[in-house]
Amino acid sequence: MASNARPTIETRREQMFPTLDTSDLARARRFGEVRSWAKGERVMTAGETSPGMVVILSGEVAVAQHDAMGSHEAIVTHTPGSFMAELTSLSGSAALADGVAQSAIEAIVIPPPRLRDLMVQEADLGERIMRALILRRVALIESGYGGPVIIGRADDSDVLRLEGYLTRNGHPHQRLDPETDEAAQAVERYHVESDGLPIVLCPGGQMLRNPSENELARCLGLIKPIDEAKLYDVAIAGAGPAGLAAAVYAGSEGLSVLMLDCRAFGGQAGASARIENYLGFPTGITGMRLMARAFNQAQKFGVEMAIPEEIQRLRSGPDREFVLETARDQRIRARAVVIATGARYRRPNIANLAEFEGSHVHYWASPIEAKLCVNEEVALVGAGNSAGQAAVFLATHATKVWLLMRGRDLRASMSSYLVDRIAAQDNIEVLAETELAALEGENGHLDSVRWVHRPSGRETRRPVRHLFLFMGAEPNADWLASSGVEVDAKGFVRTNPELNRAFRPMQTSWPGIFAIGDVRACSVKRVASAVGEGAQVVASIHAWLAESPATP
């Protein structure tokens, strides 16, 4: 593996590659079947559907990664008592590494559904396996092998879009700049001019020209056709903290669950550089790690995922069913629906804003964007916790962070610990009662930002090339416009007790449809409260399902 992945392997090798003893193997046998392979046969192939977990009984299997540029890297050789698996073994999506038999082997093959059963029924063994799967994914992400290669400029809006999608979905990948990376110059063999970038080279050899997230996901085997004949107990729209919490609790209680999201799991919380006020993490945790743990937990309990998948319409079906229709003309049938589509940051009324969005104007601050801001001034608009977390994070990369806020005091809208941390940073300057005035630049390249101090009318112009916007919240509920689900004047979904209906927490104006998290009217816009609502709504779902028995 690449050198930056070595620390994880070296310091946690025993947890990444545990050896199962005789008792463990006996328990594993209950969930799989024994198969044999001859020397030289492939046990697993990158880019093809994962067979699940392969527990070696005899012989040896060499596991290696390869990328779309033709590079190969050995990972480990599995011997008797070890197992070949990674997080794709839980979901049944495309494998990320090759496994080739070095001798005649015999192994227990545990398919994804039965692997999930093992996780639940054999808690101790399941814990060790899950820890290994997570650590193996971390190592794959660190190495960059085993995934697609994005070729394009680092500050290209489409490169940022694609890299952001893969990063937020926890998928290993590489990005190469054709101007600076020698390997990227091999793209000439694809006969692609510089104005035809970015391109994506998939592990299976396919070349995509500036694909959509959905096209990229299909190429990587991340999404599968939805079973339109299946009737789910609950469909959850949105994979942020609220939706993930509902999925984990519903799945753990035996409900059949399908979760959908149009982009990635984690929502806005997934882009938070550090969350320090979430229960149980005294040293803080990145939003991506917190949400990735929840995502893996949901898969452990059998929750099916359709990401990316955009819902366009919600309507009633026969026998008190609900039907969700997607942008890919797929239909999902469910006995209950949870709306957890969250909120998005508002766009300021700046005439040329769209010209710079995606490349110089950003709505989250992840390590991808931070790399673009090294040794530069940046401006950030907002005064909530997300803005505070982003300002502190960006201050570790940028020379100066200008934080613009409409109000007079950060403490009116931001947690005290973040206010104190911002005050302690010499390179963060808070500009109260200040508004964004204009963006200046040409051909999609931002050169400077202007803002105005409202009380005095004084205008300031700074050489800022990257602007971050965290300006309040608007509900992601446009797709509900024709459904009949009631919303308030701002578009947030109304629920009990605001509707003065028979009390069933989180229920909307349409019985059997529930709303949780930031999209819900009168909700508290915090990660912890969203998770709490996700847990609470499951009791309401059970009550609804008890009143609406499934058709035999």
Whether 389 is in a domain gets the answer yes
Nearest to 1 by CA among 131, 100, 140, 182: 140
Q: Which of 91, 118, 143 is where one domain is finished?
A: 143
Check whether residue 379 and residue 432 sit in a common domain. Answer: yes
Q: Are residues 46 and 132 in the same domain?
A: yes
Instruction: Give me the CATH number covering residue 488.
Output: 3.50.50.60
What separation in angstroms does the CA of 135 have from each of 53, 74, 162, 280?
15, 17, 24, 21
Q: Could you tell me which residues come within 8 angstroms of residue 349 by beta carbon, excluding any fewer than 6 positions away?
A: none
Which residues face 28 on adjacent strands? none
Note whether 389 and 272 are within 8 A (CB).
yes
Q: Residue 164: name the closest of 150, 176, 178 by CA.
A: 150
256 lies in the same domain as 155: no
Q: Which of 129, 139, 132 is nearest to 65 (CA)?
A: 139
User: Does some domain include residue 267?
Assistant: yes
Domain identity same for 154 and 259: no
The one-letter code for the residue type at 462 is R
pLDDT in tens, 489-529: 999 999 986 666 566 889 999 999 999 999 999 998 889 99
User: Do residue 31 and residue 136 come from a single domain?
Assistant: yes
Is 355 strand, coil or helix? helix
For residue 245, being part of any structural domain is answered with: yes
In terms of DSSP bridges, do strands 83-84 and 53-58 run parallel, antiparallel, or are they unpaired? antiparallel
Stated as kind and residue range, the H or E segment containing 75 is strand 72-78
3-state secondary structure 229-295: CCEECEEEECCCHHHHHHHHHHHHCCCCEEEECCCCCCHHHHHCCCECCCCCCCCCECHHHHHHHHH
**225 part of a folded domain:** no
Residues 251-272: pLDDT tens digits?
999 999 999 999 999 988 887 8
Whether residue 253 is found in the same domain as residue 197: no
In a domain? residue 531:
yes
195 and 291 inside one domain: no
Distance CA 525, CA 384 (A): 10
Cβ atoms within 10 Å of 231's Cβ, excluding its own: 15
Query: Does 191 share its domain with 322?
Result: no
Where among 469, 498, 529 does a domain terminate?
Answer: 469
pLDDT for 111-153, tens place per residue?
Answer: 999 999 999 999 999 999 999 999 999 888 887 766 899 999 9
190 and 274 in a single domain? The answer is no
Domain span including residue 73: 3-143
CATH number of the domain that residue 171 is part of: 3.40.30.10
In degrees, rounded to 5, the angle at the alpha carbon of residue 75 between the alpha carbons of residues 204 and 146 is 25
Q: What DSSP element (H or E) covers 153? A: none
| Cα gap 81→98, rounded to integer Å | 19
Q: How many domains does the chain have?
A: 4
In a domain, 224, yes or no: no
Tell me which of 469, 503, 526 is where a domain ends: 469
Do 390 and 331 sit in the same domain of this protein? Answer: no
**What pTM does this model have?**
0.91
**Which residues of the chain fall below pLDDT 70?**
1-10, 67-70, 145-146, 183-191, 194, 497-503, 549-552
Same domain? For 429 and 505 the reply is no
What is the domain-level CATH number for residue 27? 2.60.120.10
Same domain, 399 and 495: no
Domain-located, residue 171: yes
What is the structure's pLDDT at 345?
A: 87
Task: Give residues with Cβ within 8 angstroms of 191, minimum separation 6.
Answer: none
Q: What is the mean pLDDT of the chain?
A: 91
